[in-house]
A and B are shown apart, each in its own frame.
Chain A
Amino acid sequence: MFEPDEELIGRVVRQLRRPVTVDAGLDARVMEQIARWPARRTGGLRATWRWIIRPRTIRLSPLGALAIAAVFVAVVLWRPDRPSSPASARAFGFVVVAPRAATVSLVGDFNDWDAARTPMQRTRKDESVWTAVIPLTPGRYRYAFLVDGVAWLADPAAPAARDDEFGAPSSVVTVGGS
């Protein structure tokens, strides 16, 4: 059996109660040593990989499931064949001479054949020359100029659209990717 030694206990207690003075630069030195340690990159990657492959049970509220379903529907409904303006678009300039026109619009596959979408501007040097610049992604587009909202003009500087089934001329522009 162990017999308690009052004197020894008293010394330990006194020692424990003695105030300890910590060097003011201790924190800085410790942090400096930590900073010198090499970063454990592979350990981080492994931990990330383990976290990714670890099977887990996911609980979802009905609201959360609906939100995920909504995102899924949005992805499915996205139509890749519809022209957009991705980074591959290039600016294309269109020019037509229409001396007596009050307004000229550029209308085609690139603007849903909407005459209000791309009004052409007169050039400052020659008021009979109308121009418009629009971004086009690679593809083949039919277009025409609409003068004063009534008269259709094909682009004399571009190939004519062969399958012109509506009794008004159109042109085609082809935008390449290479």
Chain B
Amino acid sequence: MILLVGATLVALQAPAQGIDPRLERLDSITRPIVTALVDSARGAALPTEPLVQRALEGATKRAPADRIVAAVRRLAIDLGHARDALGPTASPTELGAAAAALRAGAHPATLTELRRIRRESLTVPLAVLTDLVGSGVPVDSAAAAVLSLAAKTRDADLVEFRRAVERDIALGAPPASATAAAAAVTAEATAVQVNAGARQQRPGRP
């Protein structure tokens, strides 16, 4: 038992002391700072993989050390805000998507409301929200559309909704109008799918 307790303590300490071998790709100035940020995030029970990947992206793109450190630090802060909005049960992928949504301008209350209304993973709704804003849709319009669809719409249909909005914007539609129209179509299609599912589950008649 003593050994087990000791091993647990060693294991809990090990990640804080060990350096992720992938971070060896960073230069000698960046590496210790990023390692400290990663350790700090781990200590706060935040996902560390997005931080490592952001640092590796910077290294591969030959970004200067200060940019890499700033990007990793900013992402760590966003992940913390994302966890505050989504709650402690949020998965690492949800937190990553939520951090991107917050960075895009989404309000934390939108994330909290999404958590409340959707049982499934929030990764795709949050990603769609971020991508819509990136396409020029005002953040309030994007948030309203995603919130209206999130409760009943599958991931695949949310992605298709985003594609429809982007297609209409590319054809010249105003972003907010394109979003509202595509949301209405998607909601209608989802309702039809739900009804079709209900019919399929109904017992047959002789």
Contacts and interface: CB of A to CB of B under 8 A. Distances in A.
- A and B: bona fide binding partners: yes
A76 B9 CA distance: 10
Contacts of B3: 65-66, 68-69
B12 A162 contact: no
A153 interface: no
Contacts of A113: 53, 56-57, 59-60
B49 A174 contact: no
B61 interface: yes
Contact of B48 (A81, A83, A152): A81
A162 B104 contact: yes
- Taking residues whose C-beta sits less than 8 angstroms from the other chain, chain B's interface range is 35 or more
A176 B56 contact: no
A175 B49 CA distance: 17
Interface residues of A, number: 40
13 contacts: A68-B3, A69-B3, A69-B6, A72-B7, A76-B11, A114-B60, A163-B71, A163-B103, A165-B74, A166-B58, A167-B63, A168-B61, A176-B154
Interface of A: 65-66, 68-70, 72-73, 76-77, 79-83, 107, 109, 112-115, 138-140, 142, 146, 152, 159-160, 162-163, 165-168, 170, 172, 174, 176-178
A77 B57 contact: no
A113 B58 CA distance: 9
Given A139-B96, A166-B61, A167-B63, 18 more contacts: A70-B7, A72-B4, A76-B7, A82-B49, A112-B53, A113-B57, A113-B60, A139-B93, A159-B131, A162-B100, A163-B75, A163-B100, A163-B103, A165-B70, A166-B58, A177-B124, A178-B121, A178-B155
A165 B93 contact: no
Contacts of B44: none
Contact of A162 (B63, B93, B130, B154): B130
A172 B127 contact: yes
